[in-house]
Amino acid sequence: MQVTRRHFLGQMGAGLGTIALGSILQPNLAKQAASPVGSMGLAGIPHFAPKAKRVIYLFQNGAPSQLETFDYKPLLNKMIGEDLPESIRQGQRLTGMTANQSRFPLVGSYFKFQQYGNSGAWISELFPHMAQVVDDLCIIKTMHTDAINHDPALTFMQTGAQQGNRPSMGAWLSYGLGSENADLPAFCVLLSRGKGNGQGVYSKLWTNGFLDSIHQGVQFSSGEDPILYLNDPNGMNRESRRSMLDKLNVLNNMTYDEFGDPEIQAKIQQYELAYRMQTAVPEITDIKKEPDYILQMYGPDALVPGTYAANCLLARKLSEAGVRFIQLYHQGWDQHGNLPTEMPMQAKDVDQPTAALIRDLKQRGLLDETLVIWG
């Protein structure tokens, strides 16, 4: 059975492990044996050739209002100010912010919608660039959780469980499929902050849970060092680092032979991966080498480290280099009474870079084999 994008999204909360074990052809065993330990995922899976090879998850942390993005509801706009029907409210739990309200008046969209593309999809005026690539989008309006507060809902969307300490989606893909590039981690995490009111993001969202720690997401920063503690200290050359790692590996293997703790092997893999990343990461993160037309396509913030635009461009470079799962978190989507002011600012942050990422992947022949999720 072929796994469609719609099926992937619908089942990701309950079946992350299955997706990880069944979404890409496993390279042959001879190639796996010659590769670094853990870089190629589990042997012998999957048993069919799916379409997607990698995932870029553009997570809009805090949740954009569906009524201001892609869910056009003209009838609701006609009912603005009327009380929420009892047939809808009955039995629904209320948050602490709304429990004491005497009325629950209906509110429609503050912004205009228009149909675009051959699909005729309705797109808010806040997303003019995404509207131009609408025929490359599959808009799914049925995603929901049982949680009524941000943190448990967010944790569920990322790990499949409302409580923490479960493997995240990227960790499962790392475990099942490994990385296409032995010099880069299978699971990378990029953070950006918008101008709106935002929920925080925590490392539990890209945790390895009960899997080996090699499968935890590797967070990139916007500072001078894209990955903290990756570079050697002053006075240590690469030959000295290699000699130190070789001796450390001997000691770690002796400890593993004595205790049999698999986490020791995971640590050895992490040290070796970090050593290889010292040469791979600087080239990948050097966005300034991109042609001017690419930088202009992603918008004015493309060269500003840590912005959503810069992270979208970096996500394309990471996917092109063979990273299996690239997770972006863009904070600031938690509008309540200030929605009419903050929503346009947040949309402006993400509209052009998101559309640019889709176009960029498509022109390089990568979009057909890359699952891009926005939401």
The predicted-structure confidence for 200-236, as pLDDT tens digits, reads as follows 888 899 999 999 999 999 999 877 778 877 778 888 8
Q: What is the 3-state secondary structure (H, E, C) of the chain?
A: CCCCHHHHHHHCCCCHHHHHHCCCCCCCHHHHHHCCCCCCCCCCCCCCCCCCCEEEEEEECCCCCHHHCCCCCHHHHHCCCCECCHHHHCCCCCCCCCCCCCCCECCCCCCCEEEECCCCEEEECCCHHHHCCHHHCCCCCCCCCCCCCHHHHHHHHHHCCCCCCCCCHHHHHHHHHCCCCCCCCCEEEEEEECCCCCCCCCHHHHCCCCCCHHHCCEEECCCCCCCCCCCCCCCCCHHHHHHHHHHHHHHHHHHHHHHCCHHHHHHHHHHHHHHHHHHHHHHHHCHHHCCHHHHHHHCCCCCCCCCHHHHHHHHHHHHHCCCCEEEEEEECCCCCCCHHHHHHHHHHHHHHHHHHHHHHHHHCCCHHHEEEEEC
Q: What pLDDT score was predicted for residue 216? A: 94
Within a domain: 102? no
Q: What pLDDT score was predicted for residue 4? A: 61
Q: What pLDDT score was predicted for residue 12? A: 53
Within a domain: 256? no
Q: Please count the structural domains in the chain.
A: 1
Within a domain: 77? no
Range of the domain at 315: 5-69+144-231+273-374
Within a domain: 116? no
Within a domain: 227? yes
Residue ranges, the chain, pLDDT below 50: 13-37
